[in-house]
A and B are shown apart, each in its own frame.
Chain A
């Protein structure tokens, strides 16, 4: 769709008309995909484009941005009360790159507060709804970005993925979501939740679109010390199929806890890929069962440190207070953070405190190393080229169904978090439906081998109709 839009614009279509059509859709929508719109600035930018079109990979293309990615002059609130009104004075590196390639930012999408959640229900702006069934969650935490793209309220969007936050909503909303290798995309400007795990990535309607956006945002950034060099050219290398590739099927990702319809759809997908020339074999990722515990300890520990800066002193929520520091800031934090954020700050603080650091945080880091080794072994030369698994163990659940039971929500991330611990790239592509709800296929690759991941995803997409289905919320 992004590519088609680009071709339309190149052929002379009006960017202003495209953008204003989007906004009329957004303004009528009941999905709550956005929490801040940049309508006037976007229309003005589109008019400028129409007056004298500029070049660039995304020239004139509108894009939605997750609310945790800093945009100069546009409120970036992470769906948290404590950051409402915060307008960054600078652009994240990915935003600079999008602008350099001519994209137009249309607004900030709803998310789980500070990216903490699997359903976009912890947003202070209320939950986003799933375009396939408005009673259901879109997944999280980039649920707003996924819903907007699935419902045609944006041709593409950026999300961030800490433990599955791009792939989960992509799976629940029936679109494509790519979590790049850790370090491939600069994190400068991404409001940190768990620094060592999170990556910015695209949510799109097609694999090609994802490759195109990745070409724009990937690459070394001197402002991010963890940023790596990128070989780039993902879009150009997307053809080539899976002929001769070996797919690994990790046995730990099937069986108990997985919806049988999901399992069937994924096996069908594996057969389809086999029909395209790939071979497959069972592999083992033996430390998978420790992944969730390690992930939550690391993520919450880092979060407890990252979120300590929000005190209403310099930006964000203000309460009229004339008390001593500690009372004032305690009051602001009590009012500004939602329950899930508070829970994670407290657990993270506990895990890092003297006497527990070795028992929890250090141990989690050790588990992380083992998990990384699991993936390296399974994806080593002579082993599998790619791994294929379900993205989520089940399709989108109902709003309110799990929010009171945090542990069951944490369990939903069981197939996505190991990828973040290992730092490898993974994509979720639509691979079928269960009772009318989309199912996602996860394809995992070696470090910095996005090209292979995208090639396989593209081959699969080309051989299946699932990405063409239109959700019922879209009129």
Chain B
């Protein structure tokens, strides 16, 4: 659905949730499974008289991200107060960056709708503190009361703002996937935690005003909300209704967006420099952070192609998750790299996705053994797939399971395949009466022949498989 007249820009709020403490106080960030308001202190509760102190590691992480997004790091950066009232914001202002954000003018490469690589420009990357959370008794518009949980209050956030360079909901999704991928490479972010990434998206049709869809928490949600918006704005235009500048809410359950407010009610945030924090000269930090920057997805992908001689598609698939990439590199050390790439990218990842489990459910050792068996002609490809499935379907921690043992107990070795085939051929030959009965239309006669096969293989053949092979043999014999 790449349409030339669609303009999309994103504002992504990323929680730096791999820090140990919040942005301006020492509170622990490990609040996700804790009761409300248990990870708070006078500072993040905004009690009178408290002052913020910047978490230096948060700034380092932010520089790391800005560098990875190819931004220019500003020599000096400072915090501002963004003043507004909302019950989850205990100081009635949010400490954020305004005129002098940490990073300016970056970009990310994504695969566009046409399959070509596209460079999505990033306007700015800045730091800010997360507000708390409201828990409504009922729905937001009908709640009798709301409760406030300040556990999230003061978590370090990065806001990544793009230029309006995206042309379709799918591109928006690719962008978000790529961003998440990079953040996980940088080891500053765990995308699996609740509230880790929240997205505001701006969307308009050429010549029309834009709608901002606020606070969507999943990549899929963004894609769906944008698709809905395009349809809505298009049909409004067809009916001659002009799109007004407005803020909309994405209703995940109904899959639609609804208007919250129009432009007239725009806020005046009264930004001014936070007097309790001094400007930070971060230019001096950059070389140190840069030196520690890990290899990023694009670079890793290029290296995989060059170093292991694998296909670009495989390299892309393997590097789209840092843990898969690391897994591959361990395996490729001990098995033929191209074979490993195909099996991990095409087979293992598919089986993992199907079961919605992570690569930790499988071990490189297991993969090496399987590839060894394939390469040595010990099992068929089908048999190898069966081994992988058996491991993943096994109970709990299956990384201990031994593929060779599975091959033995399941009779998956190529040698045993041959033995079953021989038994089938012999059984068909020996059971002329049963063959005749089957051909005469007595379906049940096949069971006799299968029974002979089982006897000949001492039960090691799979009865279903034997049944299929006997049928094949009979069909073949019939045609002959």
Chain A interface residues toward B at CB < 8 A = 68-70, 76, 78, 83, 86, 88-90, 92, 187-192, 194-196, 222-226, 301-302, 304-305, 308-311, 313-315, 325-326, 329, 349, 352-354, 357, 361
Contact = CB atoms under 8 A, between A and B. Distances in A.
A225 B54 contact: yes
B90 A192 contact: no
Contacts of A311: 85, 92
A305 B48 contact: no
B132 to A, nearest CB: 11
B47 A89 contact: yes
Contact of B81 (A78, A83, A305, A315): A305
A196 B270 contact: no
Given A305-B270, A311-B85, 8 more contacts: A69-B49, A70-B47, A187-B51, A225-B53, A304-B270, A309-B48, A326-B85, A329-B85
A309 B90 contact: yes
Contact of A90 (B42, B46, B90, B148): B42
A222 B48 contact: no
Contacts of A70: 47-49
B277 to A, nearest CB: 5
A196 to B, nearest CB: 4
A196 B54 CA distance: 17
Contacts of A223: 51, 53
Interface string B144-164: 000010000000000000000
A76 B42 CA distance: 14
Q: Is the interface of A mostly helix, strand, loop or mixed?
A: loop
Interface in B334-351: none
B272 A352 contact: yes
Interface string B275-308: 1111000000000000000000000000000000
Q: Is the interface of B mostly helix, strand, loop or mixed?
A: loop
A332 B40 CA distance: 25
A314 B51 contact: no
A76 B47 CA distance: 12
A191 B272 contact: no
Interface of B: 42, 45-54, 81, 83, 85, 87, 90-93, 148, 268, 270-272, 275-278
A76 B275 contact: no
Contacts of B276: 187, 192, 195, 224-226
Contacts of A305: 81, 83, 92-93, 270, 272
A191 B46 CA distance: 11
A227 B54 CA distance: 13
Contacts of B42: 88-90
A145 to B, nearest CB: 17
A224 B182 CA distance: 34
A134 B401 CA distance: 90
A221 to B, nearest CB: 9
Q: Across chains A and B, which 5 residue pairs bring their CB atoms closest together, nearest first? A: A308-B92, A195-B275, A196-B275, A352-B270, A191-B48
Contacts of A83: 48
Contacts of B52: 225
B53 A191 contact: no
Given A308-B93, A309-B91, A354-B268, A92 B49 contact: yes
